[in-house]
Structure 1
Amino acid sequence: MALTTTRTSTRPVLVLGGTGTTGRRVARRLAAAGCPVRVGSRRADPPFSWEDPSGWERVLDGARAAYVCFAPDLAVPGAPEVVASLARAARAASVERLVLLSGRGEEEAERAEREVRAVDPATTVVRSSFFLQNLDEGLLAPEVAAGLLRLPPGGVREPFVDVEDVADVAAAALLDDRHAGEAYEVTGPELLSFADLAAGLSAALGREVRYERVDPGAWAAALAAQGLPPEVVDLLRYLFTEVLDGRGERLGDGVQRALGRPPRPFAEYARRAAAGGAWG
């Protein structure tokens, strides 16, 4: 499934999750490179839904390559089977390249990688650590704005990654043959605890952001009280306890290998987000 003339092709690249955290950034980079883009989302035309395989053929038809970002997360039970089905549909539609967003330390994500590569060995895997953008675009943004970050992990450290780097690697993999078959562990350049993040956010904002460790059960109950569905609460508890248990306390070299430059540091992200008014 190797591509030969990616940048000049008139066939679009399909970006699944094209309005999400990584997808919209990948789509912007492809468009800036002069690559036709087809956004895959529920509101697109034709619409795309992971729950409705009957619509996949229309979305895949004519696409040259596809960025595969499963929602809500590859850690969800059954996700590997779904993305493998999508890979088979892509192969049947003559899609020439897949780039799969995966997660470090997630058993179901690792199984999804194997399932997709069994269909297409040339798939590029972008295996990412926890996104820094969870602090300003996701679940944790209100807490950072309020100055108190409350989560289950203790002193465990994680090489949090700037999503801009994830998008850079994914876009490069969609545009350049040399990334076919690669697996890139995409992380930030430093190991940081949540207390370290709070300290860095305090410096960037010029006001205190504290970190407080909370009991996982109490945290999950608080999420449920906010109205989050049980399956989402279960997923978040898994990600912030089992996955953040120290298994990810190592740096990956994916950004350097894919792009020939080091990943963006946390301090740069924090300054940029603060200057953009992310937390008021």
Structure 2
Amino acid sequence: MAQTLSVAREAGVKGVVYLSVFKGAEYVDVPHFTGKHTVERMIEHLDLPVTVLRPAYFIQNDVRQKDPLLSHGVYGMPIGAKGISMVDVRDIGEAAARELLRRERGSNPLPGETYELVGPDVINAQTVVSIWAEALGRPVRYGGDDLDVLEQRLKSVAPAWLAYDMRLMMGRYQQDGAVASSADVERLATLLGRQPRSYRGFAVAMAAAWAKD
């Protein structure tokens, strides 16, 4: 990525939209967070015409909870009790498109901007099971905070380094949470021209789609 930005600068590219990560500066022990924050530092140092988008945990990651929810009545992602301002991937795509178009349409390179891409809700172990129980019309329980279980499960479908990275990320979610400020949410709402999509809306839509399968 650093090389790409250097080439873009030399070529005089009018604008770039970079997908970083929410809490990248704070989660220094999570490899993919640290890597993205390093790129942000380069962007700042070179004063590039870049919009930095920092998405939180993707709401749509929880599509993978279909089997544990429907077969066992369990939400299995160990997100902990602190809370995460999860973001809908459709909002990420729309934010990126809006910023790409704004920069392309500018007569000159525009100053840098940064947006935290977050949802309007704080989702934790308690709220997530409540939302899914309501959406599915059945009892749902939380699967617990065991990170060893998470890592071993991920190793069966992903490389070991990725499973470990995810373990570290979830550990920080459990320890510190990843909650956005109201100012973060309102700034994103201004960019989108509406409030960000909610986790509850996602759960209701998924429950309806799964009922048709």
Partner of 2:209: 276
Aligned partner of 1:161 among 65, 84, 87? 87
Whether the aligned pair in 1 keeps the contact of 2:82 and 2:174 (CA below 8 Å) is yes
Deviation for aligned residue 1:243: 4.3
Map Cα deviations across residues 186-222 of structure 1 (whole Å, 9 max, x no partner).
Answer: 1111212033112212212223332121322233233
Please report the TM-score for the alignment, with normalisation by the length of structure 2.
Answer: 0.79
Partner of 2:19: 101
- Give unpaired runs (5+ residues) of structure 1: 1-82
The CA distance in 2 between the partners of 1:220 and 1:210, in whole Å, is 20
Map Cα deviations across residues 102-156 of structure 1 (whole Å, 9 max, x no partner).
Answer: 11123413222112343452210111111110011xx544433433123434312
Query: Is residue 2:63 matched to residue 1:132?
Result: no
- Percent of paired sites with the same residue: 28
Higher mean C-alpha displacement, 143-152 vs 156-165: 143-152
Query: Is residue 2:138 matched to residue 1:220?
Result: no
The CA distance in 2 between the partners of 1:85 and 1:185, in whole Å, is 25
CA 245–122 in structure 1, closer or farther in 2 if over 3 Å, else same: farther
Partner of 1:66: none
Q: SS in structure 1 opposite 2:148?
A: helix
Please report the TM-score for the alignment, with normalisation by the length of structure 1.
Answer: 0.62
The CA distance in 1 between the partners of 2:212 and 2:161, in whole Å, is 28
Q: SS in structure 1 opposite 2:80?
A: coil
Whether the aligned pair in 2 keeps the contact of 1:158 and 1:244 (CA below 8 Å) is no
The CA distance in 2 between the partners of 1:221 and 1:279, in whole Å, is 32
Partner of 2:160: 230
Partner of 2:31: none
The CA distance in 2 between the partners of 1:123 and 1:188, in whole Å, is 23
1:71-220 pair list within 5 angstroms: 83-106=1-24, 107=28, 108=34, 109-136=36-63, 139-146=64-71, 147-177=73-103, 180-220=111-151
The CA distance in 1 between the partners of 2:212 and 2:164, in whole Å, is 27
The CA distance in 1 between the partners of 2:85 and 2:60, in whole Å, is 13
Map Cα deviations across residues 146-185 of structure 1 (whole Å, 9 max, x no partner).
Answer: 3312343431211111111111111100111387511011
The CA distance in 2 between the partners of 1:247 and 1:198, in whole Å, is 17
Partner of 2:192: 259
Q: SS in structure 1 opposite 2:210?
A: coil
The CA distance in 1 between the partners of 2:147 and 2:121, in whole Å, is 26
Q: How many matched pairs?
A: 195
Map Cα deviations across residues 4-58 of structure 1 (whole Å, 9 max, x no partner).
Answer: xxxxxxxxxxxxxxxxxxxxxxxxxxxxxxxxxxxxxxxxxxxxxxxxxxxxxxx
Of structures 1 and 2, the one with the larger relative CO (CA 8 A, separation 6+) is 2
Q: SS in structure 2 opposite 1:127?
A: strand
Query: One-letter code of the match for 1:132?
Result: I
The CA distance in 1 between the partners of 2:121 and 2:206, in whole Å, is 18
CA 93–149 in structure 1, closer or farther in 2 if over 3 Å, else same: same
The structure carrying a bigger helix percent of its residues is: 2
RMSD over aligned CA atoms reads 2.5
CA 119–142 in structure 1, closer or farther in 2 if over 3 Å, else same: farther
Whether the aligned pair in 2 keeps the contact of 1:84 and 1:119 (CA below 8 Å) is no
- Give unpaired runs (5+ residues) of structure 2: 29-33
